[in-house]
Structure 1
């Protein structure tokens, strides 16, 4: 099992794939979780994370260039909220050979505005009753599901089914499970938030503030620490407070810049 570090990212194979897109190959390292993808500096259209040991699709920083993620043969059973904010232009996700169980587990993917290709082959969810009908109904922009085209006829049939009582009951049950999933995820995040080393994902405004702080830094140590945060895409819980204190210190003419150096990363 190998941790996904900035060093591993920088040493991994990078090439132009047959689709003429820039791709990063992180395949087969048995990586347990997604982290430090900020080290890619948003230079890739495709990232291949197949054949690893991922259990959750989350921890992705703001990567507006990213269009395709390959996640074949992991152990993913949960998809984190907020993907539509961190990878807004994602159009293809290949999740063949994972452990996604229920249709409610797919709700975070429905928020991706440009998702056109999705594979859930060899996942328990793909064997659920009315699976394709639900996907055709819930994902209006999806063109290929499990490498089969969703046709206009499929969408019409799906809309007709979900107007029936059984279809409406199915939607209510999925919505209920999805709400339970969101509550459980919030509780988990809250429990982690009690730890002193808890973090959150950086948004575009955070990233720009870090870049600005690097330009204002008064020491090499400051630059290195801020650069590590920028690469990881993960902010310590006390980041806002410490960054604010550092800015106030600099405005007061204190060249030590001690606020940032006191941050606990």
Structure 2
């Protein structure tokens, strides 16, 4: 963090810019607080405070000459409601990429009587409903907002929409999520005590396979096979534990596999016998 001292002001670059205005360059100094600008003796048309760490736009001395203020890429969340009293000739204000979030935070800009060119791009406030119309309504002399010309049709529409204080206040209301005491604790408790999802045990898999063998309908076979493929345990097998019945089910499943292997062996032997017996010809 760097303090904005009179010494820093005197040592910073100052020059005539492209439009022949006298400019003071204070950008990129990690300045957090605006102070000591009286040291400029109001000798500048433009002051560039971009790329710093300013949070509040305040502490300006009376500067009757200043017409352009550049404060993009800072952390501005608050603007002095009486800013116009200190910067009566300010016509161009660049606030791009700051942290203004709601319409109420830009109300102080209405105190600037000569403001014609304004940029609030890359501030959260620009995503608020009716943002553009609200700004046009508050800043009567604005000609360019976010680098887009303010049209007469927009002025008429803004005047109709915000014809009363009640309409303005309604626009500034930001919906917030209500918090119910204990809601988070209840959610955490429910998560804590929720049953853990586990896959079927080897015993349950064996029992399901045995049940598939003994199924009487295709629908039952499909249901059990789906349970095996997805890892979901059917209700009738959920409480199954290794016991005598489980042993019997296991033996039945093993028998099913053995029978299948025996049938394959018999088939192979028959095939070999058929192939090895020569055909006698008369």
- Give the TM-score range, shorter chain: 0.5 to 0.7
Question: What is the aligned partner in structure 2 of residue 112 from structure 1?
Answer: 112
Question: What is the aligned partner in structure 2 of residue 171 from structure 1?
Answer: 168
After superposition, the Cα gap between the structure-2 partners of 1:59 and 1:174, relative to the gap in structure 1 and judged at 3 Å, is farther
**What residue ranges of structure 2 are gaps of 5+ in the alignment?**
175-282
**Partner SS state of residue 109, structure 1:** helix
Alignment of 1:217-232 (within 5 A): none
Shift of 1:72: 0.7
* Equivalent-residue separation in structure 2 for 1:138 and 1:72 (angstroms): 21
Shift of 1:169: 4.1
1:158 and 2:158 aligned: yes
| Structure label with greater radius of gyration | 2
After superposition, the Cα gap between the structure-2 partners of 1:143 and 1:122, relative to the gap in structure 1 and judged at 3 Å, is same
Question: What is the aligned partner in structure 1 of residue 273 from structure 2?
Answer: none
Alignment of 1:1-265 (within 5 A): 1-163=1-163, 169-173=166-170
CA deviations on 1:167-204 (whole Å, 9 max, x unpaired) are: 86441246789xxxxxxxxxxxxxxxxxxxxxxxxxxx
Paired residues, what number? 174
RMSD: 1.7
CA deviations on 1:191-250 (whole Å, 9 max, x unpaired) are: xxxxxxxxxxxxxxxxxxxxxxxxxxxxxxxxxxxxxxxxxxxxxxxxxxxxxxxxxxxx
Higher RCO by CA contacts (8 Å cutoff, separation 6 or greater): 1
CA deviations on 1:102-158 (whole Å, 9 max, x unpaired) are: 111111110111000110000011110000111111111001110111011111111
Please say if residues 103 and 125 of structure 2, whose CA atoms lie closer than 8 Å, have aligned partners that are also in contact. yes
* Equivalent-residue separation in structure 2 for 1:168 and 1:87 (angstroms): 26
Deviating above 6 A after TM superposition, structure 1's stretches of 4 or more consecutive aligned residues are none
* Equivalent-residue separation in structure 2 for 1:59 and 1:49 (angstroms): 14
Shift of 1:81: 2.2
After superposition, the Cα gap between the structure-2 partners of 1:105 and 1:87, relative to the gap in structure 1 and judged at 3 Å, is same
TM-score, normalisation: structure 2:
0.59
